[in-house]
Amino acid sequence: MAVISFIDAITMAMREEMRRDPNVFVLGEDVGVRGGVFRATVGLIEEFGEERVIDTPLAESAIVGVGIGAAAYGMRPIAEIQFADFIMPAVNQIVSEAAKMRYRSNNDWNCPITIRAPFGGGVHGALYHSQSVEAMFTNIPGLKVVAPSTPYDAKGLLKAAIRDEDPVLFFEHKRCYRLIKGEVPDHDYVLPIGKADVKREGSDITVISYGLALHFCLQAAEKLAQEGISAHVLDLRTLYPLDKEAIAEAASKTGKVLIVHEDNKEGGVGGEVAAIIAEQCLFDLDAPIKRLCGPDVPAMPYSPPMEKFFMLNPDKVLEAMRELANY
């Protein structure tokens, strides 16, 4: 099995799906000749031609809107939003059209579109290139929101998203793209959307996270193991709908829960995770449910010290984990 980067796993998943199913096609800004600003679609236009790898105007509402129309017609579009920050013009298409098509048409129509969007900070991208926007989409029934953290999960989940009969919003942490590498089989496999994954077994505290922050948690857990603190780490992988069963099971295992995400704290996915635990696990809880998240400020600062202040890192996570373990 080859060790490849997160972004290569994304590319591999798209290429395999396009080979498998002629209805799959890619559209987005600079996805064709340029191969995507992050190079996620590199090589696709050479292999599949410009009719299946389409460079679009700078109009996200059109990228998603065209995709929705094609999907309704039986195609399987992969719409790339260049940065998740730019998704706002397409929100109406995603929320009011794609997510509701099956419901509104009484099951006559569905919308198998996949919308890929790189999110998150830590790349000196400042305000317009660093946002975490996932929480906005995690109370929209009809929409699935996926955010993998490893190359293996990225490939399996992206293929599942492309094959899903309903719209899937696929968030890729852009800092993971070339930072995170892992073993990825070069054969075909899919992973179930809606299932969380235990990334590390432990018995003292439970840490629940996703995206880049998940790796900070794993690094911190590794260090804490040397201090005798055993952390159980759950990767949500799908942010909507949440894997309630896995969350409850992981929380009950230790009774001490820390939820970590880069997105702003208030109104973030972590609040919903905490609510699920509060509803289901009261009598297993041994400490208040804690959250470590980005601060509630409008945007990622450009100034490097301030970006560092905003971003999570393994040290911040480690401190929060140790504090909870000692509670």
Partner 1 sequence: MATKVLMPQLGESVTEGTISKWLVKVGDTVKKYDSLAEVTTDKVNAEVPSTVSGRVTEIVVPEGETVAIGTLILYIEESGEAGETQAAPAASAAPAAPVAAVAVTQQAAPRLTTAPEGGKQRYSPAVMVLSQEHGIDLSRVVGTGAGGRVTRKDVQAIIDAGGQKPAEVAQEPVVAQTPSTPAPTAAPAAASAPVAHTSAPAEIPVASGDQVIPVSSIRRTIANRMVQSKHEAPHAWTMVEVDVTNLVNFRNQAKGEFTRKEGINLTFLPFFIKAVVEALKEYPMINSTWAGDKIIVKKNINISIAVSTDDALYVPVIKDADQKSILGIAKAVDDLAARTRAGKLTMDDMTGGTFTVNNTGSFGSIQSQPIINSPQAAILSVESIVKRPVVINDMIAIRSMVNLCMSLDHRVLDGLICGRFLQSVKQKLESIGPDTKLY
Those residues with Cβ within 8 angstroms of residue 49's Cβ, 6 or more apart along the chain or in another chain: none
Residues near partner 1 (CB under 8 A): 204, 227-229, 248-249, 252, 254-256, 282-288, 290, 323-327
* Nearer of residues 78 and 205 to partner 1, judged by Cβ: 205
Q: What b/e sequence results for 41-59 when a residue is b if at least 16 CB atoms lie within 10 Å of its CB, and e otherwise?
A: bbebbeebeeebbbebeee
Q: Say if residues 194 and 243 touch (Cβ distance below 8 Å).
A: yes
Those residues with Cβ within 8 angstroms of residue 161's Cβ, 6 or more apart along the chain or in another chain: 114, 144, 146, 168, 170, 193
* Nearer of residues 164 and 204 to partner 1, judged by Cβ: 204
* Nearer of residues 189 and 327 to partner 1, judged by Cβ: 327
Beta carbon of residue 33, minimum distance to partner 1 (angstroms, whole number)? 53
* Nearer of residues 57 and 282 to partner 1, judged by Cβ: 282
Annotated catalytic residue within 129, 173, 232, 261:
129
The identity of residue 236, as a single letter, is: L
Q: Report the C-alpha gap between 205 and 250 in whole angstroms.
A: 9
Beta carbon of residue 131, minimum distance to partner 1 (angstroms, whole number)? 30
Instruction: Find the helix or strand (DSSP H, E) in which 199 lies.
Output: strand 197-200
Beta carbon of residue 202, minimum distance to partner 1 (angstroms, whole number)? 12
Beta carbon of residue 281, minimum distance to partner 1 (angstroms, whole number)? 9
Q: Is 124 a catalytic residue?
A: no
* Nearer of residues 165 and 286 to partner 1, judged by Cβ: 286
Nearest to 171 by CA among 35, 53, 262: 262
Q: Report the C-alpha gap between 241 and 137 in whole angstroms.
A: 10
Residue for token pair 């000692």 = 326
Beta carbon of residue 225, minimum distance to partner 1 (angstroms, whole number)? 11
Q: Which residues are catalytic?
A: 129
